[in-house]
Structure 1
């Protein structure tokens, strides 16, 4: 960002000989060709800033860029009009970002407005500058305010979708369909649907965000309380993945016994009858396999 500060150029409130940006004589209160010296530009009242800005813009138009006087005039214009930035930034209070950051971004818009302003347009500088400042702040929120990063085309489509939805809702008296939005926006229905999904990425809420309870009940709830319950079986997924290679090492008959017992949930007696062995033998086989699997699982966790 361009520097907004103006280097000290006065002694006792007056320009020092040989240090003025123009040819103004020491002690005359001007900085050459009638441009006044402003000791603290940021403290100039907005009404006075409007009048002084005209004089400074007149002078800026004839100065060569890069000279000390050009730098002084331009920097003074920036500081005198910072109240415009603070005014525009106040409209975005409560958006989550600090006001200091928003003012810094808005100052970029102010600098662009100063560099592009032309007195011959016969328009007040305030009217010319505010759209630049607001536009820069909106661009900042558009680029950094998304909870999930989405392509620029979808960011822009979201804004267009909001406008089209409001226009059709006013015109039709109901929520417009995707086909109606597609026709108004001149976009395929697939892109309208994509833009609608992208809108959901603009903001997000913490699962720990406190929600006030309704019905006058004291206390607070959090968002996670309304999003289902914890599924205990999810804790077994990792165990299943760890057991898979251990089970693969068993012989076919052992895997069949495990399948019959834990998948088809047959009794040991039924398994013994199908395999032609006693129920006691089935019990010993299952106990031995469980021990091997347990040892292998605990060993992999330790590793």
Structure 2
């Protein structure tokens, strides 16, 4: 699809979103669904190889998420609609898969590589006298770095995410993910769909470096020292970013005003 066509579709979508915000109607909403249905197809395609549900079912469920995004999108916030809608579409599909009890399955090849990586990690750690980087592990496995990172993420996400899981802060001790979720009902289980969407939206609003620091420390389970080495910044800067990022996320989840996250 040419750039001109894409820009025309975006322009038409923005026009319809303005009209829908002024005067909601089923006709305008349906037009918006048709224009943005590619977002649903993309997300359904991502999940089709990880569950037992049909592609058509995932499209229908994802469309519900797209409709919810259309109804809740606020143009005054300045967000791109696609960035706003994807978490809703993904959340709707994930919620559906949990309700259906369809297990998220990891391809056999990835399972074999994950098992092989355990041995590779051990060998590299003995050789380098430190924890190997993702790039070094991927090189040893003879696979692209992006694929290794997907394998790690898939294996990590296979188990339910506990809100009681500790989150390290080297200066102020530990906290847990549940502390940034306002509703105390969600204990020791996956993030509720609404909170998951809100957390993803809050992450999008963070300055890029702060978001990277939080992802390395809490998603990839690196120490703050390892994160500093990966990003080429000081450990003190990482520590500041962790505290600042968690504070911004917590305020955003609670709907409290917060200072702007600026680059240092």
Q: Same fold (TM over 0.5)?
A: no
Larger Rg over CA atoms: 1
Normalising by structure 1, what TM-score?
Answer: 0.34
Quick one: higher RCO (CA 8 Å, sep 6+), 1 or 2?
2
